[in-house]
Amino acid sequence: MAKRESTFFNMVLALLTITLVASASLGFIYELTKEPIEAARAARKNEAIRAVVPDFDNNPTEEQYTIEVAGGELVFYPAKKEGELVGTAIETFTHRGFSGTIKLMVGLLPDGTIHGIEVLEHKETPGLGDKMESDKSDFSAQFEGEHPEDFQLRLRQDGGDVDGITATTISSRAYCEAVQRAYDVYMDKDADVSYELPSREEAVEIVLVNFANNPLREEYQVTAGGNQYTVFPGRRGRSYTGLAVDMPSDEGYIGPIRLMVGFDSEGVITGIEVLEHEETPGYGDLIENARSDFYKQFIGLNPGEDNIRLKEDGGIIDNISGATITARAYCDAVRSAWEVFSEAQNM
């Protein structure tokens, strides 16, 4: 075959064919390698969790929750054995590594004692900074079994209790910072149960969708089952688009739970926010939207047609392990909120 002339048609044809074949084959390879890549990532994470907390029998990645902090976020993986919290693996970070961000998995026992630390990600110099990896030196071993309250997470030269890696002060210092961050946030989370719950005003705007009015200005009272409840209607133009119900309930495990439940005009749930609760940290507080995906299973359901009860009670809602009473009270409150919604429709 003779060499083709550089006519406009030939050039476009050649470029087009080659890019099409290239992107098609890349798409194919991408589909092929997608699963192994994700599996490799998940395996790495699970391995790290397993290495830093005591024996567990739940699936910590299913119960993970995230807390935003300055500069990034920490991911918490609670490890439980027979429903009891035995430790928490915390994915933490520092931006002060010698070559940028370092990600660690720090395992803390429920009282805050360090059980183990693994490096998830780093770009430190091979042969130097990478000695913080647990299989390359004993650096990470000195943290095991220490409680940060009596073990200062600073290098000896900075007045702390940590022996740095020779010639790698910056990486070692960054490592300590990441561990300290995990510990601080972990302890803080336990001290402050009502971690950033939304206000009533914020909650109304989150749970309602598709509205153009100010529902807070149009609040009114609805009587259902002998009690008065406050509701907030959503409107777009003149048409009615939904209703947010402020729903207190006093049947939580420890004390009252208060929800804000949003419905569209058909009674389908558009959103739920927890306004107040006093449930146990690590268990009952997983009803908070920021701590687990429990609330997501309600969205799109219509309590008039769907059975909003726990699966063990014959319904369709997945329980929160270790917090049945809290989860049940949550479902009850959602159903009551729907009663209020249908009363409001009939008014």
Partner 1 sequence: MEYIVIVLSAILVNNIVLAQFLGLCPFFGVSSRISTAAGMGGAVLFVMTVAAIVTYLISHYILIPFDLIYLRTITYILVISSLVQMVEIILKKVSPPLYQALGIFLPLMTTNCAILGVAILVIQNEYTLMSGVVFAVAHSIGFTLALVILAGIREQLELVNVPEGMKGNPIILVAAGLLALAFMGFAGIV
Partner 2 sequence: MDQAKNFTKGFIRENPVFILMLGLCPALGTTTSAFNGMGMGFATMFVVLMSNIVVSLIKNFVPNKVRIPCYIVIIASFVTIVDLVMAGFMPALHEQLGLFIPLIVVNCFVLGRAEAFASKNTLLSSVIDGTGMGLGFTFALTLLGAAREILGSNAIFGLQFIEGDGMLVFILAPGAFIALGYLIALANKLNKQ
Residue (19 or 210) nearer to partner 1, CB: 19
Nearest distance from residue 42's CB to partner 1, in Å?
18
Residue (165 or 244) nearer to partner 2, CB: 165
Nearest distance from residue 87's CB to partner 2, in Å?
26
Q: x-or-dash pattern for partner 2, window 156-185, by CB under 8 A?
A: ----------xx------------------
Given 4, 17, 21, 23, the residue binding partner 1 (CB under 8 A): 23
Whether the Cβ atoms of residue 173 and residue 95 lie closer than 8 Å to each other: no
- Number of residues that make up the chain: 347
Nearest distance from residue 30's CB to partner 1, in Å?
4
Q: Pick one of partner 2, partner 1, none as the site partner of residue 99 (Cβ within 5 to 8 A by kind).
A: partner 1
Of 258-317, which residues contact partner 2 (CB under 8 A)?
none
Of 82-101, which residues contact partner 1 (CB under 8 A)?
98-100
Nearest distance from residue 31's CB to partner 2, in Å?
10
Distance set, CA 222 to CA 201, 226, 246 (Å): 18, 10, 11
Given 61, 66, 95, 123, the residue binding partner 2 (CB under 8 A): 123
Our finding on whether 20 is near partner 1 (CB under 8 A) is: no
How buried is residue 62: exposed, middle or buried, by Cβ count under 10 Å (0-12/13-18/19+)? exposed
Of 120-128, 144-152, 230-238, 322-330, the segment contacting partner 2 by CB under 8 A is: 120-128
Nearest distance from residue 178's CB to partner 1, in Å?
17
Question: Sheet containing 100-108: which strands, arranged edge to edge?
Answer: 65-69, 72-81, 84-97, 100-108, 114-121
Whether the Cβ atoms of residue 290 and residue 278 lie closer than 8 Å to each other: no
Our finding on whether 342 is near partner 1 (CB under 8 A) is: no
Our finding on whether 26 is near partner 1 (CB under 8 A) is: yes
Nearest distance from residue 169's CB to partner 2, in Å?
13
Q: x-or-dash pattern for partner 1, window 154-173, by CB under 8 A?
A: ---------------xx---
Q: Pick one of partner 1, partner 2, none as the site partner of residue 169 (Cβ within 5 to 8 A by kind).
A: partner 1
Encoded tokens for 196: 């950033």
Of 17-25, 69-77, 244-252, 315-323, the segment contacting partner 2 by CB under 8 A is: 17-25
* Main-chain phi, psi angles of 10, to 5 degrees: -65, -40
Q: Pick one of partner 1, partner 2, none as the site partner of residue 1 (Cβ within 5 to 8 A by kind).
A: partner 2
Whether the Cβ atoms of residue 88 and residue 75 lie closer than 8 Å to each other: no
Of 22-30, 72-80, 211-219, 240-248, the segment contacting partner 2 by CB under 8 A is: 22-30
Nearest distance from residue 169's CB to partner 1, in Å?
8
Footprint of partner 2 (CB under 8 A): 1-7, 10-11, 14-15, 17-19, 22, 25-26, 29-30, 33, 35-37, 39-41, 44, 121, 123, 125-128, 166-167
